[in-house]
Structures are given as structure tokens and as C-alpha cells.
Structure 1
Amino acid sequence: MPYINLQLIKSDANTNEKKAELISKLTQVLVDVLDKKPESTHVVISEIEANDWGVGGIQVSERNK
């Protein structure tokens, strides 16, 4: 059972349509590259608030100002 956990910074750009596309395409990558069955492939998308994500010691919410 392949499992992909994709973590993204929460954004208005992360629409349901875009998330559905990500799930479909990530599943297809595992089918194409590793010959996995799509029906047993799990994709979980977690959206993290920008102030809960840091890069280089700085919150992303601060870097984006």
C-alpha cells in the first residue's frame, strides 16, 4: 500500500480542483514508475498555516511580507 503525505502551506491557490489534480497525478506517478495499483495508493494532503512553517529560521508568513 503506497502512501504519499504531501504537506503544503495553506493558500487560496490550493483549490479542491488543484488538490484533486495533485492526487490523480501523484497516484499516476506511482503507477508509471513503481507499477503500483492505483486502487491501493493513498495520497494525503495536509495544509499547514504559513506561521507554522519555517525556512531558514524564519516563519514563512514573515518571509512573504
Structure 2
Amino acid sequence: MPYVNVRLLKGRSKQQKAQLAQVITQALADICNAPAAGTHVVIDEVDRENWAVAGELVADRDS
């Protein structure tokens, strides 16, 4: 029973997240022979003000 946790910046559509979950599930089935019915994908969305790259908040980089 694979469990995959994906963290992304907020802003993806419901359709994009659904497609991502489907692709991850299919990849695990194809590569690891993991049954799709037992594959869990959790998508955590993070606010831009709570994510930093190279010590700088992403929200500040956008300005």
C-alpha cells in the first residue's frame, strides 16, 4: 500500500491535482506493481508566504 505525499505551492486547479494523483498512481502500478486500489496520494498545498527557496520567501520573490 504505497503512500505518496506531494507538497505544492497553492494555485493548482482541482483538475490538475486529480491528474497528478492519477499519474502518480499509474506510475506506481507500472513500475512497482502496486495495486491502484491501495495507493494513497496526499496533496498538501502551501501558501507562498510559508515556503522559502534559498532563504527567501517565495511570496517575496514574486514581488
The secondary structure found in structure 2 opposite 1:46 is: strand
Question: Offset of 1:21 from its aligned partner?
Answer: 0.4
Cα deviation, residue 64, structure 1: 1.4
Identity %: 38
Q: Hey, which bits of structure 1, 4+ residues long, moved more than 6 A?
A: none
> Is 1:63 aligned with 2:61?
yes
> Secondary structure of 1:5's match?
strand
Q: Distance in 2 between matches of 1:55 and 1:18?
A: 23
1:49 and 2:50 correspond: no
Aligned alpha-carbon RMSD (Å): 0.6
Report what 2:3 is aligned to.
Answer: 3
- What 5-or-longer segments of structure 2 have no aligned partner? none
Give 1:52's aligned amino acid: N
Aligned residues: 63
The aligned residue for residue 38 of structure 1 is 36
* TM-score, L = length of structure 1: 0.93
Q: Which amino acid aligns with 2:42?
A: V
The aligned residue for residue 16 of structure 1 is 14
